Amino acid sequence: MCSDRVRTLWRSLENCTLCPRKCGVNRLAGELGYCKTGALPVVSSYAPHFGEEEILVGLSGSGTVFFTGCNLRCVYCQNYDISHQCRGQEIPVSELISIFMDLQDQGCHNINLVSPSHQVAAISVAIELARRQGLEVPIVYNTGGYDSAETLQQIDGLIDIYMPDMKYADEEMSRLYSDAPDYPQVNFTAVREMQRQVGNLTIEDAIAVKGLLIRHLVLPQDIGGSLEIINFIKAQVSLKAAINIMDQYRPCGDTNEFEALSEPPHKYKIEYLKTYAREKGLILID
């Protein structure tokens, strides 16, 4: 039996308001909203992963579970086949629990939930039940950052490490490149809620165990509004927030239609942003 709040999350699928889209479809009856996902978890793949931040990977890897679908439509998505084309398999919650336990048994330092926002009801059921079966490693909520603060409040205590993207500071940019004009407002509110729940990043024996780790992918031509995001983090999240200023943008997905996305940002721009963040007192994580 799950907690009242997790049952409430599950019942919300009947008129889905899990994410800021608030599609209102009955996912329990098989209706699909913006995320193209029903009530049960849909997983593309899972495995120990060594391509994440070093403090997540350690020696044994981050136990990464890639969830299919997304509540964003980022035209440059590097997991396009999973997020846009929805490559994956629907599984029962019991199988998701088995995946969590298997990753822990393989020695992974954490369970890394990639793109969980639209599947958080089923994920929350799995976390609660898996913990009763002996799941002990930290849970990482690895999200595009388009999360409802109300939903995040419902999972308070289930998540050890929040790892949200902060993609944009400008509504027009987020509308054009991710089909989410309200992304900045929603994202800023969500990140503040995440910080409230878990606080600054805590690292023990070179491995992250709890806290907030923000990711910001530097986009070409300052599409993301990087300085504004850094200033927001310093002023409204934490004086010592942890941030990964990411330099791996490359044209992919549907970027052929957007000239501004045709080339990666210059390296000197990325180094400038890292220096700026350090000068603001933020903790840089690579």
pLDDT per residue of the chain (286 residues) written in tens, 0 to 9: 789 999 999 999 999 999 999 999 999 999 999 999 999 999 999 999 999 999 999 999 999 999 999 999 999 998 888 998 889 999 999 999 999 999 999 999 999 999 999 999 999 999 999 999 999 999 999 999 999 999 999 999 999 999 999 999 999 999 999 999 999 999 999 999 999 999 999 999 999 999 999 999 999 999 999 999 999 999 999 999 999 999 999 888 888 889 999 999 999 999 999 999 999 999 999 8
CB-based burial label for 96 (10 Å; 0-12, 13-18, 19+): buried
The domain defined by 37-284 folds into TIM Barrel (3.20.20)
Could you give the 3-state DSSP secondary structure of residue 186?
Answer: helix
For residue 80, what pLDDT is reported?
Answer: 85
Q: What is the pTM of this model?
A: 0.97
For residue 98, what pLDDT is reported?
Answer: 98
For residue 252, what pLDDT is reported?
Answer: 86
Residue whose pair of structure tokens reads 């902060």 in the numeric block: 166
Instruction: State the Cα–Cα distance between residues 213 and 27, nearest whole angstrom.
Output: 31
For residue 227, what pLDDT is reported?
Answer: 98
Task: Pull the structure tokens for residue 185.
Answer: 């407002």
Phi, psi (deg, nearest 5) at residue 74? -65, 120
Task: Pull the structure tokens for residue 234.
Answer: 């310093």
Within 10 angstroms of residue 38's Cβ, the number of other Cβ atoms is 21
Instruction: State the Cα–Cα distance between residues 101 and 139, nearest whole angstrom.
Output: 12
Within 10 angstroms of residue 108's Cβ, the number of other Cβ atoms is 24
Instruction: State the Cα–Cα distance between residues 195 and 182, nearest whole angstrom.
Output: 20
Candidates 129, 213, 103; CA nearest to 163 is 213
Task: Pull the structure tokens for residue 256.
Answer: 């052929």
CB-based burial label for 98 (10 Å; 0-12, 13-18, 19+): middle
Within 10 angstroms of residue 64's Cβ, the number of other Cβ atoms is 24
Instruction: State the Cα–Cα distance between residues 98 and 113, nearest whole angstrom.
Output: 14
DSSP 269: H
Crossing angle between the packed helical segments 183-198 and 171-178, to the nearest 10 degrees? 100
Residue whose pair of structure tokens reads 């440059």 in the numeric block: 76
For residue 90, what pLDDT is reported?
Answer: 97
Instruction: State the Cα–Cα distance between residues 146 and 143, nearest whole angstrom.
Output: 7
